[in-house]
Amino acid sequence: MNKECDYSAAYIIVHTDAGLEGRGMTFTIGRGNEIVCFAINEIAKRIVGMDADEIFADMGAFWNFLVADPQHRWLGPEKGVIHLATAAVSNALWDMFAKARGKPLWKLIVDFTPEEFVKATAFRYITDAITPEEALALLKEKEATKAAREANVIEKGYPAYTTSVGWLGYDDAKVERLTKEALAQGFNHFKLKVGADAADDLRRGLLIRSIIDNPANMPAGREIDPASIAGKNAGPTGCVLMVDANQVWDVPQAVEYMGKLEPLKPWFIEEPTAPDDAVGHAAIRKALKPLNIGVATGEHAHNRMTFKQLLQLDAIDVCQIDSCRVGGVNEILGILLMSAKYGVPVCPHAGGVGLCAMVIHLILIDYIAVSGSMERNVLEWIDHLHENFKYPPSVNAQGRYNVPLEAQCGYSVDFLDEAIAEFTFPEGTYWTTRAAAEAKAAKLNGANGVNGVNGHTNGVAINGVNGANGHANGH
Amino acid sequence: MNKECDYSAAYIIVHTDAGLEGRGMTFTIGRGNEIVCFAINEIAKRIVGMDADEIFADMGAFWNFLVADPQHRWLGPEKGVIHLATAAVSNALWDMFAKARGKPLWKLIVDFTPEEFVKATAFRYITDAITPEEALALLKEKEATKAAREANVIEKGYPAYTTSVGWLGYDDAKVERLTKEALAQGFNHFKLKVGADAADDLRRGLLIRSIIDNPANMPAGREIDPASIAGKNAGPTGCVLMVDANQVWDVPQAVEYMGKLEPLKPWFIEEPTAPDDAVGHAAIRKALKPLNIGVATGEHAHNRMTFKQLLQLDAIDVCQIDSCRVGGVNEILGILLMSAKYGVPVCPHAGGVGLCAMVIHLILIDYIAVSGSMERNVLEWIDHLHENFKYPPSVNAQGRYNVPLEAQCGYSVDFLDEAIAEFTFPEGTYWTTRAAAEAKAAKLNGANGVNGVNGHTNGVAINGVNGANGHANGH
């Protein structure tokens, strides 16, 4: 489904007259990145001239302001391009807020009082699932033990899984090599892309299972907490397989196809059908329950109302938030609170460009302040494009994310200056060099398959957020 | 919710080398129109150079092509800006197709065989609600009687309702005058905007009820078919009141607020909460059933999957399609088929700019070829901005839409050349004049409240759809 990936980011840098800087981004896969940049500029016009300290004093009110523009709402509301752009702008202010306080974003938020947390949360349209009062009670219950969890995760890292072994198109030798490498890196959760051909999926999946279920392939001294894999269809060595269809099926097709993949004993099928279809996901989950296969979705669930329905209809075993798809941190807080109330573990979507760096912040908030648990959760890990970031994410020797601790990392979306100079579209050196080389071929810029090569980063700069004479510059 | 309306259209004109022309549009309410234009240009790049006759031979395949771009899908999929833009492009090709055959759009489609109709329908992701085979059976059942219904609606017109009487902000004298005028025009369905203040809504609604329930105010010789108002909470004179909240409430608020409006005896509450929330609409409908108040929604339901869930969860009494919100005619056909199967009447959203002109085509398709019934349905009518169109919609003396019959009307979205010259943004005379007048005020173009004045029409022209050397021009 997501073929021709040309990993890209619509990127905004916000400045204040006092010298503060905040950065935010939305991830895209190529064509269309410029549409999001265009929308970011339109939204950002509304914040130029505002006072940053007043924004920080009530981030909930700021988010309400961002999504309340009636004319922009018509283009959504709260979905698609306008919401992706809202996410970038909102995330830039959260990044600025964290940097202003000298804390990583996760730490800024876990240090909130329960009242401050609730005030920052987007509750509109989800109060039939969770009220601010319920949220407050839930957060207060976790408050006394926050410090212990913070220390625990800093020491151990946050559990991760790898998607790198099972992309469509990898030959069997490559799948085998990557799976063994991932085992050696400490991973025990593996994800396989499926949906193109059931027989081929079965063969590739059984190949992975044969490797991860073989005790001879386990790293020496490995210990797996049984509680961390309970109910996940784990094999004899404690390894877990997940499969991901990226929305290729209708509901009846999903049920039929997954019946064929039962021998793989997957924990869940991810994105079996259209991401908007909570009713469809509920039907698939119900049909697959006798096969002990769960359902996961969320990377394309476009706002908190979609997550609300997935939870209300018992449609998912795992909630896969994304840092850029919904409208930023405020909306994520609402989704974390709902998931905790409904008892559904959050396992964020990552990969692409910048997502791993961002979601570790979000899941730390979940563990330390909201759900209070992490050992059954797993955070997606793809070791790709991190070299372009100032504060790159990393995993430890046990295959767990390290906790970002740098005082000025903010939301960890600072691209290196060199990356911006190279990849900004269309004036970056990558693009100008490429354009020269391709001049004869008369192809559109960035139109086809730069899969695996660094995609383009569009930058928009907003100057003078604190100043009355500010103006929006797009470049 | 939809304050500061600056009625606008993102407009595309597609040409072939052979001289065919097709026009398509998406309606917006102001700021953000340019974002949609930008997206239209991106999508339209993909069709330049295609063969129009090959497109017409399989409009279903063309629609699948439009929504299948993987990089554009990332920005939706099938929602928000990218889907609004898809609607404009798709509708332009339908307009061209109809004009090429010398038929109004509705006539082009009702003349399809059931097989051709099914082939043109977007079924992906909705086959758990209706399969192509079920759709075929449904259409075949209606086929023999199509001609009789066509003759009937051409003679009588299609039932309509008016929203002009009850906008928020109208004073009581104006509401009274407009209600009496609407009665004299033949209307017996009236819609009131609510949600700002319950006491005020109650007063305004009871004022309307006192007028429409008073036999002395009825036009001489009026006859109302009892079947047309059955189950609609009609008053003693056969008049029906509907209320519309434009998404202002959370689910519990909607139930509480509508309890207060029970004395108005509305047929339905329209858009009580977030348009994505099928589960929420179902909860509201269930709670309001004892009060005999129904639920309607759809103008912001962003694709067929949203409508599918609304129908599957018994969440709506009335299905309000919009001609520009979902991805054009192909997707509408799928929604009409689902609504017919689930027995929910379709009452399209109209108003804005161009919507009345377009939706009459869609509802004629529903009546003649799909549901086979119209007497309980009502089509929204707002007599506003029609003077800008070459084939303006109209109502007859019985307050019913006339059927568009001009051979070259296509989808009825041709703006007059004068309107394009005046309102194209930013170079139209309306804008240049206004810009000169406002130069001192340093305001953004089109940023604030031109409500009631003609909004801006952005034009994009795509040349050479048939030619191999075509290119996209945006202006």
Domains assigned to chain B: 8-101+416-474 (3.30.390.10), 146-401 (3.20.20.120)
Helix (H) or strand (E) holding B473: strand B471-474
Taking CA atoms, what residue in A is nearest to B40?
A35
Separation CA A180–CA A208 (nearest Å): 9
Chain B residues touching residue A308 (CB < 8 angstroms): 277, 279-280
Band the pLDDT of B439: cuts 50, 70, 90. confident
Which residue type is seen at B121?
Answer: T
Separation CA B410–CA B354 (nearest Å): 13
Strand partners, A11: A25, A459
Q: What's the gap in Å between the CA of B124 and the closest CA on chain A?
A: 7
Taking CA atoms, what residue in B is nearest to A448?
B71
Which of B473, B467, B470, B475 has the alpha carbon at shortest distance from B18?
Answer: B467
What's the whole-number mean pLDDT along residues B311-326? 97
ipTM of the complex: 0.92
- Across the interface, whether the CB atoms of A42 and B36 are under 8 A apart is answered no
Identify whether the C-beta of residue A330 lies closer than 8 Å to the C-beta of residue A60. Answer: yes
Residues of chain A with pLDDT under 50: 442-475
Chain B residues touching residue A31 (CB < 8 angstroms): 42, 69, 71-72
pLDDT at A169: 78
Does B45 qualify as catalytic in the annotation? no
Identify whether the C-beta of residue B353 lies closer than 8 Å to the C-beta of residue B123. Answer: no
Chain A residues touching residue B277 (CB < 8 angstroms): 125, 305, 308-309
The residue assigned the tokens 């279809």 is A277
- Across the interface, whether the CB atoms of B70 and A1 are under 8 A apart is answered yes
Strand partners, A15: A21
- Across the interface, whether the CB atoms of A279 and B313 are under 8 A apart is answered yes
Q: Is the dihedral of CA A176, A178, A182, A188 positive or negative?
A: negative
Q: What's the gap in Å between the CA of A340 and the closest CA on chain B?
A: 20
Band the pLDDT of B1: cuts 50, 70, 90. low
State how beta strands B21-28 and B8-15 pair. antiparallel
- Across the interface, whether the CB atoms of A251 and B32 are under 8 A apart is answered no
What's the whole-number mean pLDDT along residues B319-326? 96
Q: Given a cut of 50, is residue B264 above it in pLDDT? A: yes
Each residue's pLDDT tens digit, B42-74:
999 999 999 999 999 999 999 999 999 999 999
- The packing angle between helices A304-312 and B278-288, to 10°, is 60
State how beta strands A158-166 and A379-381 pair. parallel
pLDDT at A156: 97
Each residue's pLDDT tens digit, A315-360:
999 999 999 999 999 999 999 999 999 999 999 999 999 999 999 9
What's the whole-number mean pLDDT along residues B189-212? 95
- The rounded mean pLDDT for chain B is 90
Per-residue tokens: B203:
């007063």
Separation CA B258–CA B318 (nearest Å): 17
Angle at Cα A63 formed by Cα A61 and Cα A69, nearest 5°?
100
Output the CA torsion B54→B122→A325→A367 (10° steps): -140
CA distances to A76, B248, B421 from A73, in Å: 5, 12, 28
Which of B300, B332, B451 has the alpha carbon at shortest distance from A82?
Answer: B300
Identify whether the C-beta of residue A187 lies closer than 8 Å to the C-beta of residue A222. Answer: no
What's the whole-number mean pLDDT along residues B383-393? 95
What's the whole-number mean pLDDT along residues B333-360? 97
What's the whole-number mean pLDDT along residues B396-418? 96
Residue A98 phi, psi (nearest 5): -65, -45
Separation CA B44–CA B35 (nearest Å): 14
- Across the interface, whether the CB atoms of A128 and B280 are under 8 A apart is answered yes
User: What is the number of CB-based contacts under 8 A between chain A and chain B?
Assistant: 196
Angle at Cα B359 formed by Cα B339 and Cα B17, nearest 5°?
115
Band the pLDDT of B336: cuts 50, 70, 90. very high
Poorest-pLDDT segment among A458-472, B145-159, B164-178, B188-202: A458-472
Per-residue tokens: B15:
């040409």
Identify whether the C-beta of residue B458 lies closer than 8 Å to the C-beta of residue B34. Answer: yes
